[in-house]
Amino acid sequence: GAVVSQHPSRVICKSGTSVKIECRSLDFQATTMFWYRQFPKKSLMLMATSNEGSKATYEQGVEKDKFLINHASLTLSTLTVTSAHPEDSSFYICSARSRDRGLEYEQYFGPGTRLTVT
Amino acid sequence: GEDVEQSLFLSVREGDSSVINCTYTDSSSTYLYWYKQEPGAGLQLLTYIFSNMDMKQDQRLTVLLNKKDKHLSLRIADTQTGDSAIYFCAETLDQAGTALIFGKGTTLSVSS
C-alpha cells in the first residue's frame, strides 16, 4: 500500500510553454502533499506544501505565479510550470502524507518527473 | 536554523557493513528518517525513528540515534551491490503536516 504516482515520468518542452505534472496517491487519502525539486548532487528542496481545498504554501524564493499548485482532491495534486525556461529543468518529486491515524508521520514519495526545457 | 549534514560518499565491499552518518541541528526534531534513492528514481522510505528512541532495527538495517549529540546513523549489514544508491537523512519538526528537511545525501558504492 501507500503508493504515490507521478505523471509524466519524463517531459521535454520548449521554452515559453507550460507543463503540468500530476501527483496521485493511489491507495490512500492524503491530507497534505508536498512538491520538491532536486538538483544534481543536491538535496531535495521543498517548493510548496498543499492541503486539499486550500491554497498552497510556497517556500521562500519559489515563485507562486510560475509554479502553480492545485490540490483538487484528497488523492490528486498538480504542479504546473508556466512559461518554462531552461533553468526550470530539474527533477520534480511529490510526496503525500496519509490522513490515516498512525501513518501521519510517514511521507510517501512519487517516482519523480524529469523536466527538460529546450 | 534547520540543517541536516551527511558525508557525500561511502565506498564498501560486498558483504561488509556500511555505516552512513548524519547530524542535525534542531533539537526539536520529532522524527528522523532514512530514504533510499536509486538512479533516476524517487525516494523509498527505508525506516524512521522517533526522537525518544535510541535504536531501531529492521532486518539488515539498524538506526542509532544519539539525541545529545544530534547524531543519527544507518548501518546496513551484509551490504549487497543492490544497496548502491543515494541515502538521504531527513527530519521533521512537528507533530504532523510540515515537510521533511533533507540532507544532501550519501552516495553508497558497493563493489564486488
pLDDT tens for B50-106 read 888 899 999 999 999 998 899 999 999 999 999 999 999 998 866 555 678 889 899
Phi, psi of B57 (to 5 degrees): -120, 140
Write out pLDDT tens, residues B20-51.
Answer: 999 988 777 678 899 999 887 788 889 988 88
pLDDT tens by residue, chain A, 118 residues: 678 999 999 999 999 999 999 999 998 888 889 999 988 767 788 899 988 878 899 999 999 999 999 988 889 999 999 999 999 999 999 999 877 766 666 788 899 999 999 9
Q: How far is B13 from chain A (nearest CA, A)?
A: 23
Contact A20, A78 (CB under 8 A): yes
Question: Does residue B103 sit at the A interface (CB-CB below 8 Å)?
Answer: yes
Query: Which pLDDT value is given to residue A21?
Result: 97
pLDDT, residue A55, reads 85
Chain A contact for B13, CB < 8 A?
Answer: no
Q: How many contacts does A have with B, using Cβ atoms within 8 A? A: 60
And the C-alpha cell for B92? 521533521
CB pair distance less than 8 Å for A95 and B43: yes
CA separation for the pair A29, A53 (Å, rounded) = 13
pLDDT for the residue numbered B16: 97
Q: What is the pLDDT of residue A40?
A: 74
Chain B residue at shortest CA distance from A40? B104
Q: Is the pLDDT of residue B19 over 70?
A: yes
Q: Which of B42, B48, B104 sits opposite A43 (nearest CB)?
A: B104
- Which chain A positions have a beta carbon within 8 Å of B92's beta carbon? 105, 107
User: Beta-strand (E) ranges in B14-105?
Assistant: 18-24, 31-37, 43-50, 55-58, 61-66, 71-76, 85-92, 101-102
